[in-house]
Each structure stands twice: as C-alpha cells, then as structure tokens.
Amino acid sequence: MTSPQPLFIGWSADPPRRRRLLGAGLALACGGAVGGGLVLAGGRIAIGTGVWDMGQARTLRGVLSSSPYPCLRTLDLGGSARTVFLATDGKAAAPLRPESLDRWVAVSGTLITRGLHAMLAVEGVEPARYIEPPGLRVVATEDHGEVLLTGEILDAKCWFGAMRPGYGKPHKACAALCARGGLPLAFCRIGECGAGNEAPLFLDADGRPHKLDVLPLVADPVFVRGRLVSVGNVMQLRAALADIRRL
C-alpha cells in the first residue's frame, strides 16, 4: 500500500511539489524576459558615435567659405587643416555675410563631431585678432576615380551628432527639412550608417550641392554611380541625379 500523499490546499503552506512548480515558473518567466530583452537589443538600431557638445561654446579661427556649403577652414581642431561646416542651431546652414567670406575670422558656437567630421552651430562671427597662418588656403584636390556604391543619402548635421540616430526611414522627414534648409548632404554605405564614422559629402557631378529634386531619395537605400574626390580633408562623392537609383 502506497504511503499517503500530502493533501494540496491552495491557501496552505506550500508543499514541496508546489515549490518546485513555482520555481520552474519563475525560471521560465525570467528566462523569457531575458531572452526577449536580448532579441529587442539585437534588433535595436545603432545610434552612432556622433556628439553635439551643447554645453561648451568653442571659438575657431580660420578662413570662411561658402563653397560648396558654408564652412570654415581651420587649424584649431588638432593642429592640421580641417574643414568645419557651419550651421544654425536649427535645420539650416549658417547665413554668412558676403563681406566675411574669404576672410580670416573667429567663429563661435557649439561643436558637432563624428570621427573626423565636424560642424559648428554658429553663434557669432567676428574678425580674428591673430595673424592668419600661411598655407591655410592651399587645399589639395585629388580625383580617386569612379565608384559604384549602395547606401543612403542623409543630412550631415544629424548624422554628425545632432540626432541619434540620424539615418534611416524614421529620419526621412527630418533629413528632407535639413536639406531644404541648405545643410550639407552626406552618403553612408549600407551597413555603415549606424556604427561607422565615414560618410563622404554628397554633391552633384560638378561638385556643387544637389538641387531639391534629390529630396525624394534621401533616407532611402539607393545605388549611386559617381566619383570620389578628396578636397583637403573632406572626401566627396559626386554623382548626377540621373546616376542615383532607389533600390
């Protein structure tokens, strides 16, 4: 004759079997939560390494230019000549007074950086007090030949660090507004928009900003036939509108 089993009463002290069932249930629940978290984390869009240091104003001295976008050629970021694009604190390029162009000036604002890319949200422009260093205006240009690339056209300010993430379908409307405001366009290759730090400036075949007819293609996967051209420290991808196709 078998020994009597303990009578199960739901409100009584937990018998051994109930404790085992509760333990198994908790383990399954915890495992499911952890597994679900890992799945969600694995599918999360990479936000990139760009930073907008809004808490610290900087002053950079250099030569102002409006071509192909408002920019400053400066030695104040690491000692070597670099191009810093100029923007407002909103979705527009910085307006530059004609009398300031091609002049040695001091530009104050907050810095947006990603890798070696840089942009300044401008707060003020004044004549510089120090003598312009020699050679700053000498900008070497090199044609690196034709390329066939797949990737995404994006606005440089957001991708540099003003928005995180600054690419992909959720960012399409913002990218179009930034492009309408005269901010530079850039191009990231597929798979490199999130974690990558390289995105050449995106221009037309003549090295000028694209017109507004490129806007329907921003933030979509595209195929581009163009040329890579380096101008100083800035790599450019130059392509005619007819040589851009949505994938």
Judged by DSSP in three states, 6 sits in: coil
Q: Is 232 left (phi over 0), alpha (psi -120 to 50) or beta?
A: left
Q: Are residues 206 and 231 in the same domain?
A: yes
Task: Compute the average pLDDT of residues 178-204.
Answer: 95
Q: Are residues 185 and 104 in the same domain?
A: no
For residue 36, is it within any domain? no
For residue 45, is it within any domain? no
The gap between the terminal CA atoms of the chain, to the nearest Å, is 76
Res 240 pLDDT > 50: yes
Round to whole Å and give the CA distance between 115 and 199: 10
Point out the domain boundary residue: 127, 155, 181: 127
Q: Are residues 102 and 157 in the same domain?
A: no
Q: Are residues 100 and 187 in the same domain?
A: no
- Give the pLDDT of residue 7: 43
Kindly report the pTM of this predicted structure.
Answer: 0.81
- Give the pLDDT of residue 47: 75
DSSP code of residue 139:
-
Res 77 pLDDT > 70: yes
Mean pLDDT of all residues in the chain? Answer: 86
Q: Which residues contact 46 (CB under 8 A, 6 or more apart)?
A: 165, 193, 194, 195
Q: Are residues 156 and 96 in the same domain?
A: no
The model's confidence at residue 142, banded by pLDDT at 50, 70 and 90, is very high
For residue 38, is it within any domain? no
Name residue, tokens 């797949």: 150
Q: Which structural domain, as residue segments, surrounds residue 75?
A: 51-127
Q: Specify the number of domains making up the chain.
A: 2
Task: Compute the average pLDDT of residues 137-166.
Answer: 94
Domain containing 101 — which CATH number?
2.40.50
Task: Compute the average pLDDT of residues 132-152.
Answer: 95
Round to whole Å and give the CA distance between 13 and 225: 74
For residue 159, is it within any domain? yes
Point out the domain boundary residue: 93, 127, 161: 127
Please classify residue 130 by burial: count the beta carbons closer than 10 Å to its beta carbon, then call 0-12 exposed, 13-18 middle and 19+ buried: exposed
Q: What kind and span of H or E run contains 201?
A: strand 201-203
Point out the domain boundary residue: 127, 162, 177: 127
